[in-house]
């Protein structure tokens, strides 16, 4: 026999589950309309009809149409995150970088309307799933830095990788189909690789900038220095890294 606490919490739990399921149904309906007809097709009335609800229900769930679009974008970031393959110790760091870039571009090309919505508003960079995806990218960048492969600092490298993938997708989608050449994507990817990585790991030669970037990447793992000493060393290393 269920306890008094269980019977008291069950209606709330059921209501929460029902709300989550309804919310997901609305998001999926909006994505369907977005995919078939673009952003203009995603009206409150059309989404409500597709989800089998009355329009006021959408306002209770999302606040307004912008809230609904934000939820659709968050769903897109989460779906993109699910496509990312995370290898904590890839055998080839440069090929791992290429594979991650290709994955990002392939998702955009497979979901053009959703991808465009995801990256239409700068404020969506606060999305939890977006930030999680950027953490995966920063992990790739940090491994490159630790191995001496990084040509620029980690933050700039991440920005270049993200910007070239995003630019590749949006440029491809803006072109007429008869002008879309796979060479565009390959060339942009290789330009990205050349911009952020070295031909050989710089820790194998005398280059101080590459060695400094490698030390910066591994600095958080050390426990010998005090916090103040670590901060000072990081400042010195960043100055050396910027000189390369």
| CATH number of 78-242, picked from 2.60.40, 3.30.2010, 1.10.357, 1.10.150 | 1.10.357
Segment 22-34 shows an average pLDDT of: 95
Give Cα separations from 87 to 16, 135, 156 (angstroms). Answer: 36, 13, 22
Q: According to the model, what pLDDT value does residue 114 have?
A: 94
Please, where in the chain does CATH 1.10.10 lie?
13-63
**Rounded distance between C-alpha atoms, residue 156 and residue 132, angstroms:** 18
Predicted confidence band of residue 194 (pLDDT cuts 50, 70, 90) = very high
pTM of the model: 0.74
Class of domain 13-63: mainly alpha
Segment 15-24 shows an average pLDDT of: 87
Q: What angle do CA 139, 77, 60 make, to 5 degrees?
A: 140
- In this predicted model, what pLDDT tens digit does every residue of 111-124 receive, in sequence order? 999 999 998 777 67
Segment 93-113 shows an average pLDDT of: 95
Q: Which tokens belong to 21?
A: 């399921």
Number of Cα atoms under 13 Å in the Cβ half of residue 65: 10
**Rounded distance between C-alpha atoms, residue 169 and residue 194, angstroms:** 19
Q: Calculate the CA 28 to chain-centre distance.
A: 20
What is the sign of the dihedral through the CA atoms of 180, 181, 185 and 187?
Answer: negative
Please, where in the chain does CATH 1.10.357 lie?
78-242
CB 50 within 8 A of CB 28: no
85 vs 148 pLDDT, higher one: 148
Number of Cα atoms under 13 Å in the Cβ half of residue 120: 16
């Amino acid at each position: 026999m269920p306890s008094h606490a269980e019977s008291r919490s069950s209606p709330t739990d059921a209501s929460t589950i029902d709300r989550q399921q309804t919310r997901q149904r609305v998001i999926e309906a909006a994505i369907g309309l977005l995919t078939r007809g673009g952003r203009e097709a995603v009206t409150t009335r059309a989404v409500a009809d597709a989800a089998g609800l009355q329009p006021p229900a959408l306002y209770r769930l999302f606040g307004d149409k912008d809230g609904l679009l934000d939820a659709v974008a968050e769903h897109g970031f989460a779906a993109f995150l699910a496509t990312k393959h995370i290898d904590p110790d890839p055998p080839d760091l440069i090929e791992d970088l290429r594979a991650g870039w290709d994955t990002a571009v392939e998702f955009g090309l497979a979901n053009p309307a959703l991808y465009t919505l995801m990256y239409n508003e700068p404020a969506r960079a606060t999305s939890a799933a977006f930030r999680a995806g950027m953490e995966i990218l920063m992990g790739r960048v940090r491994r490159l830095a630790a191995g001496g492969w990084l040509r620029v600092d980690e933050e700039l490298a991440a920005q270049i990788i993200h910007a070239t993938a995003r630019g590749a997708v949006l440029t491809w989608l803006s072109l007429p189909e008869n002008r879309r050449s796979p060479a565009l994507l390959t060339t942009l990817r290789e330009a990205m690789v050349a911009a952020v990585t070295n031909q050989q790991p710089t820790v194998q030669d005398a280059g101080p900038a590459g060695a400094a970037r490698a030390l910066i990447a591994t600095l958080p793992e050390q426990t010998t220095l005090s916090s103040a000493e670590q901060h000072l060393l990081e400042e010195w290393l960043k100055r050396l890294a910027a000189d390369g």
